Structure formats: C-alpha cells, structure tokens
Amino acid sequence: MRGPWGAVILAAVALFCSAATAQARAPAQGPEGALLLIDADNGAVLQAENATHPWYPASLTKVMTAYLVFEALADGRLKFDDKVPVSRYAALQDPVKLGLGIGKQVRVKSLLEAMLVMSANDAAVVLAEAIAGSEAVFAEMMTRKARQLGMTGTIFRNASGLPDPDQVTSARDLAILARAVITNFPEHYGYFSRDHFSVSREVHPSTNGWVRAYPGAEGLKTGFTCGSGYNLIGAATREGRRLIGVVLGATSSGARNARMSQLMDGGFASLSDLSDVQLHAVKVGALPWEPVGAAPFVLSGKRCKVDATPVKYTAEDDGTLPGWGMIFGAFPSRSEAGSVLERNVGAVKELVGEARPVILPKIKGTPLRYTALLVGLDQRGAGQACQQLRERGVFCQAMPPVALNNPQALWR
C-alpha cells in the first residue's frame, strides 16, 4: 500500500544530471512518428506529419548547444583554441562520451567536434560549463534562445539530450533551429557534416550515417533514447535548392535514414511542380504549437536497455526512500536545488559512491520549496560525507531511514 506521502514524490534526477523533476508516468499513447520537410531558403512547409507533437529530442539537443557555442565564438567569450577544464560532473556523464579525465584541459574546437561528430555527452557538458558556469544555467540559456528563435514548444533541461521528462521539443521547432544554424552561422555549418574527427591519435567516426549515404546531404544531427526513438535532423542541397528535414520516433537507425531519404527525394521532386504561391503558403513558423499530451515513449519494452520512462530513479510504490539520506536544505526552485546537488555530490563523490540525488517538493508550507537530498547511503557514509561538507561550510544533515521516510519530520 502506498505510504502517506508517496503520491507526491516527484521523480529523482539521475546521478550528476541536470536537476529537473517530473511525476513518474506511464508510457503515453502517441503517434508512431513525426516528420517535417521545409525549404531552407524561405521556410515553406513541403510536408508535415505530427510536426507539432511534443517529443523528446535526445541528442538533437546538441544542435542548440552548438548554436550557443557559435554565439560565444562570435562575440569573443570563447575561442577555438581556448582550453577549458573538465569538471567531475562532466566527466561522469553517461555514455556516449569521449572519456575525458577530470581536470583535463581540452580545446574548445575538439570538444565541439566530439559533441557533433560522435555525440559525446561529456563534451557537451564541458562546453556548457565553459559558457554558463553550470549545465543548469546553460539549459536556461538554451530555453531562452529557443523562445527568441520562435521555438515555442521547446524546453531544455540539459546540454546533451540525456533523458529528462521535462525536456521536450517538436519537429517544427527543430526545423526552425536547423534553419537558424544555417542562416546565422554558415561559417560553422560544416561541423555538422564531418564524417570523423581525431583526438589523442584516435579516430572517431560520425554517428550520422545518412550524411555519408545520401547524395547532396550536408548534416545535421542524429539522436536516440528509448523515450524518443531514432531521430534525425537532415539538410541536403540539389541544383541550388536546400531542404531541411526532421524525422522523429523511427524504430531503428536504418528506418530513420530511409525515411529521411524518402522525404528528401519527394521534396526535391516536387519543387519544380510547385508554384510560388504554394511555396509561400505555409511557413514553418506559422505551424501552431498544439500540445496533445505527454511526449510519447515509442520504444519501450525489452528492446531498450533503459526503462521506457526517462527517469532513472523513483521512490518505491510504498513511498519509501532507501537507506540513510543526506539533506542539503530546501530551495525556491528545482534548478537551484539541482545546482546544490551537483556541487555537493561532486565534492564528496569518493564517499557517497552510487548514492541517488533526489529532489522532493516540501509537503508543508508555502510558497512551494524543493528539498535536495541524497539517498541510498549507509550510516557511516552519510555521516562522513556530511561532516566533510560541514567542514567546508556547507549545510548537511545525515538522516536515518526512519526519519527520512517520516512525513511528519521537520524537513518535510
């Protein structure tokens, strides 16, 4: 039977991931996929299916990360030859990653190549931290930039595209983003078409097989999680006409690439048959944002190596949190609670091991505040880690299981 407060627990953030929480939910019924094809020159919509349906972007997120990197390069905040440090948080990102060592200094250009060619999550986070100081702050910058570009249905919570239930987009918004990259940063657009890059004498191939196989293909990016399916933003040019395509929710990389090729073939074939009136009838920015429920989970079940729900930890059905906990205080926003978790966990990683970061809304009091804590520790580990943090001037309270799971406890 569910405990007295179990129903209000929000999903915990994954270890060292951006701290965004959402209620755990069952896989939603949604469309089998989404696609969109536009004329890159004028934004005219040539074909669209479920183009405004919310979707998990997976590593297509990195296109926006790259956009903000290009902006930083343009205004001098970054230079390609700058060497930036790899934080513990960045180094411990889930694969795919380059495997950057903690404290290593890496050139911005190498990080950009690693992020766009092999889709390295650690490289994305290092770049985010170099620009904004933390991934959480960078994600807020990403969302603001999305709004400025007209991506009205997109929310970013991290720089890499690792699963987060709050991070959503649509085919419409991704096409707008791709067009903005091509228009605003033509000098950097070539990074999206590279078929390999080299670092430390190792050659890493591109994850984007479609670019190598399709005549006239120029990029841009692939992505996959179990929550999103196989995704692709593509651009191609023939006879001086450039098209941008988006395919979301394919069931395999082969199906994704084939669908994009079909989409492009049909688009190029139709251009000569369309009048100027038809080409200018509907622009991608005019497609409405019409939410139709939660973003779909398209590849749940045994095929996936992770749970179909893009949440790596939730409370047990009876509402209990495992083991001893470490409480770091209550904060006015989830992002602030997440930043505290990121900083504190990084400071005592050697003591807390595989403990789970959790953000919980406080049951008592107004306005709503969010408690940041670690769970799944033993008594000694929680005590030692809290003591080490307190010596650094950080608030920390070790909490035994009986108090951790008491809904009447003062911290709740």
Instruction: List, by residue number, the catalytic residues.
Output: 59, 62, 119
158: three-class secondary structure by DSSP: coil
CA-CA distance, 336 to 309, in Å (whole number)? 24
DSSP-derived secondary structure for 192-204: GG-SEEEETTEEE
Answer whether the bond into residue 220 is a cis peptide, omega within 30°: yes
* Triad 247, 249, 144: Cα angle to 5°: 70
The SS3 assignment for 54 reads coil
Identify the sign of the CA torsion 234, 238, 240, 243.
Answer: negative
DSSP code, position 31 = -
Torsion of CA 223, 346, 127, 143, to 10 degrees: 70
Report which DSSP code applies to 326: E
Residue spans of beta strands (DSSP E) within 179-298: 196-199, 202-205, 217-225, 229-238, 241-250
